[in-house]
Amino acid sequence: MKPQIAKLGYVALESSDIEKSVTFFQDVIGLELTEKVQDTYYFRAWGDFQHHTLSISPGEMGKVTYIALRAKSSEDLYLFKEQLETKGYSIEHVAAGTTPGIGEAFQFVAPSGHRLELYYDVEKGEVDDHRRSVLKNQTYKSWAKGASPRRLDHVNIHTCAPGNSAFDFFVEELGFRINECIETVEGKLLAGWMSVTPLVHDVALVAHDSLETKARFHHISYWLDSSGDLMRAADILKENGLQFIGPGKHSVSQAIYLYVIDPGSGCRVELFTGGYLIFEPDWETVVWRPEERAFGNTYWGDSITGNALIVPTIEA
């Protein structure tokens, strides 16, 4: 039996201007600060259930140091470790509590060049009385400030790994399903929207022939409940002096989006709503051809295409 991943867990971000980043994520995007430990800020959306879905540490440059995925069980976690070691991956052990709220974890560099972390145990994180929701199934009061997204949705990462090796790793070793893809007729994957959940993507992976560094981070995406909330977010971004791309709707995933850059780290954030869920166990990958890429990217509205500066690197 293959081990399974439950969900995308969190993104570990470094910022060269942490004050700006904290203002951006806390006041403009409207994430909640679970806690600050030493120099690192741990954030989550009001509807996220684990300790954090984004950590921000000071760094020399904007950089995503790793992306963490939560295993389905403790057994799965150790099976992953064993399986990856067998395949020759160099596994770095991270002791429980090294990252606040996160148990024992294992880090490694995927063939895409991105450092990934697997973990299982979590703490929910304390919530101040005045920020706690009156609903016992919701972490914080919603709509406290900024755009106020509900939850982490997905990450989008770019690679220049050869062939389909970066995609194969996610599918074969981590158990992701490619729900939609851009693929040449020869079978070369140019982009894949992959998930372990009914979301169209927990991770989107985009292939390039070359990149400044092998692995790049394109965006972290937080989910809002409606397109009206996204229009409200657009107003909030403008009133805070921020430029952004969108609103627009992707054909792939059917989701409506805004893209805005954290002025501290250069990390792109997507605000995201709509889209569909996949409950079918025999889902056939929706294949878009390279000539359909523009339509796949942009069903309507302001397009991210051609604006795809990929700012923060991930160390390989």
Which residue ranges make up the site for a second copy (CB under 8 A)? Answer: 1, 6-7, 47, 49-50, 70-73, 120, 122, 133-138, 141-143, 145, 150-151, 180, 197-198, 225-229, 231-232, 234-239, 241, 244, 246-249, 251-254, 256, 274, 276-283, 286, 288, 299-302
CB of 107 to a second copy, least distance (A): 20
CB 31 within 8 A of CB 56: no
CB of 133 to a second copy, least distance (A): 7
Single-letter amino acid, residue 215: A
Q: How many whole angstroms separate alpha carbon 285 and alpha carbon 283?
A: 6
Residue placing its CB nearer to a second copy in the complex, 128 or 279: 279
CB of 316 to a second copy, least distance (A): 28
Which has the closest alpha carbon to 222: 20, 17, 25? 25
Complete edge-to-edge strand list for the sheet that includes strand 177-183? 286-288, 177-183, 189-195, 203-207, 151-159, 215-223, 268-274, 255-261, 244-249, 300-301
Residue placing its CB nearer to a second copy in the complex, 196 or 205: 196
CB of 290 to a second copy, least distance (A): 15
Q: How many whole angstroms separate alpha carbon 181 and alpha carbon 65?
A: 26
Which two three-digit tokens encode residue 9? 């867990």
CB of 162 to a second copy, least distance (A): 28
Q: Give the pairing type, strands 54-58 and 105-109.
A: unpaired
Q: What is the DSSP code string of 269-316?
A: EEEEEE--B---TTPPPEEE-GGGHHHHH-SEES--TT------B---
CB 165 within 8 A of CB 214: no
CB of 14 to a second copy, least distance (A): 26
Residue placing its CB nearer to a second copy in the complex, 252 or 314: 252
Residue placing its CB nearer to a second copy in the complex, 71 or 311: 71
Residue placing its CB nearer to a second copy in the complex, 197 or 213: 197
Backbone φ and ψ for 200, nearest 5 degrees, come out as -60, -35
Residue placing its CB nearer to a second copy in the complex, 62 or 247: 247
CB of 136 to a second copy, least distance (A): 6
Peptide bond into 247 cis (omega under 30): yes
Residue placing its CB nearer to a second copy in the complex, 49 or 78: 49
